[in-house]
Amino acid sequence: PPCRPQPSAGLRRHLVLAVGARAAMLLQSRSTTCGFPGDASPWDCGGCRDSSMFASDGPVVDDEVAKDMEPRWQWEHKTGFKNYSQDESDRIEAHFRSGAWMMRMKSGTGRRAKPREIYFVDMLQYDPSSACERRIRRIPDVSNWFYAFRRVKGVTRSFFASEENWWRPKDKAYFEKRRDMTDATPEEIAEQRYRLGSMFYHVSEHWAFHVLSVLMVLINSFYIWIDADLNQGITYADTYWPFIVADNIFAAYFTLEVVVRALAYRQCRTCYSDTWLVFDSALAMLMCLETWVFQLGVVVAGGDEGTQLSNFSLLRALRLMRLLRITRLFKVFPQLFILIKGMALAGTP
C-alpha cells in the first residue's frame, strides 16, 4: 500500500511545544492548594499550604443523614467541605464542648511550621504560616440551647482565669489584639489600664493597703464566728451596741476598699476584668444592704411591720454569706488553694 504522508519537521516541532505547554499548565494548577489561578473565592489562598495532608476527603453529607452520625468537623475547600482526621475531629469536639473560645492544632513539620488556630466564635481555621483562613463546621449542628450552655461555660472559664472582658465571647479579633498586647512592656500595659498619676493608684498598690486588707479579712472572719454564737438579735433594735459598731466599721472599710481599687482604673469597664474586684464588690454590696438599707427599712417601718421584718431569715443568711470573703486569702496565699484542691482530689473515690 502507498505510504502515508509524514508530517514535516516544523509541524512536529509545533506539536511538541503544544503538548509541553499543556503539561506545564496542568502541573502548575495542581501545585497550588486553593484552586486554579484566577479563582475569586474568598476562602482560596494561593500561597497557603495544602491542608489535605492533615485531613481526609469526605463526601458531602445531607442534613437528614447527619442527624444519625457521630459528630464530625469539616473544613472548607474549593470543591466543598472536607473532613478532618478522626483524631483532629475528636480534639476539636472536646474543646468545643468544654466551652473554649480557641484551640491550636499541629500543622506540618519543620522550623517554620506553626500550629493552626481554630476559632469557635467565628467558626474559622487560621494558618499563621500562610495567613490563610478557612471556614469550618460541625456535622450535625448543635441546638441553640447547647450554644447557650456552651457560652455560659466559656464565660465561667474566662471569669476564673481573670481574662479581660470575661463576660464576652472571644473571637479572632480579640486574640489578635491580645497577641499584640504581649509585645508591649509591663509599663505600657499599666499605662493603658490604670491612672498611674492618681492618688487612688498609689494607695491601692501600696504594701500597707494590702496588708491591712488581709488583716481586716481575718478579723472579719473571726468576728463572724463570734457574731453567730453570741448575737441573738437580727435588727439593731434587739442587738447590743458592740455588734452594731463592728458591723458599721467592717461595712465602711470594705466599701471604701472597693471604691479605691475601682477608681485606680482608667476606665470603669476595665474594672470588670478584675475578677477579685467584682467578687469583693458583690460582697460589699450585700454587706451594705444588710447593715444600712435593711436596718433603715426596719426603722422606717416600725411597729408590727418592723417585727415581721426582724423575723425575716434573709438578714441572717446575708450575714453567713460574708464568710465567702475569706476566699480572698487564696489570692494572697495560692498554696492554700493547691492544698485544698489536693485534699479534694484525694478524697474522691
Cell triple for residue 140?
Answer: 450535625
3-state per-residue secondary structure call for 128-154 = CCCCEEEEEEEECCCCHHHHHHHHHHH
Distance (Å, whole) CA 53 – CA 288: 62
> What pLDDT, on a 0 to 100 scale, did the predictor assign at position 24?
61
> What pLDDT, on a 0 to 100 scale, did the predictor assign at position 129?
78
Residue 13: which pLDDT band, with cuts at 50, 70 and 90?
low
Handedness of CA 266, 267, 270, 274 (dihedral sign): positive
Given a cut of 80, whether residue 333 has pLDDT beyond it is no
Cβ neighbourhood burial of 291 (10 Å; 0-12, 13-18, 19+): buried
> What pLDDT, on a 0 to 100 scale, did the predictor assign at position 298?
74
Residue 34: which pLDDT band, with cuts at 50, 70 and 90?
very low
Given a cut of 80, whether residue 29 has pLDDT beyond it is no
DSSP 174-185: HHHHHHHHHTS-
**333 or 266, higher pLDDT:** 266
Write the CA distances from 2 to 5, 6, integer angstroms. Answer: 9, 12
Cβ neighbourhood burial of 317 (10 Å; 0-12, 13-18, 19+): exposed
Given a cut of 80, whether residue 31 has pLDDT beyond it is no
Residue 237: which pLDDT band, with cuts at 50, 70 and 90?
confident
Map residue 318 onto helix, strand or coil: helix
| Span 45-80, pLDDT tens digits | 444 444 433 444 444 444 444 445 678 899 888 888
pTM (predicted TM-score): 0.52
Q: 228: which residues sit within 8 A by CB, 6+ positions away?
A: 319, 320
| Span 289-306, pLDDT tens digits | 888 888 787 777 765 444
**109 or 283, higher pLDDT:** 283
Cβ–Cβ under 8 Å, residues 134 and 43: yes
Distance (Å, whole) CA 103 – CA 100: 7
Q: 155: which residues sit within 8 A by CB, 6+ positions away?
A: 166, 167, 169
Q: The cell 466564635 sits on which residue? A: 121
- Cis bond leading into 140, ω under 30°? yes
Q: The cell 479579712 sits on which residue? A: 217
Distance (Å, whole) CA 314 – CA 306: 14
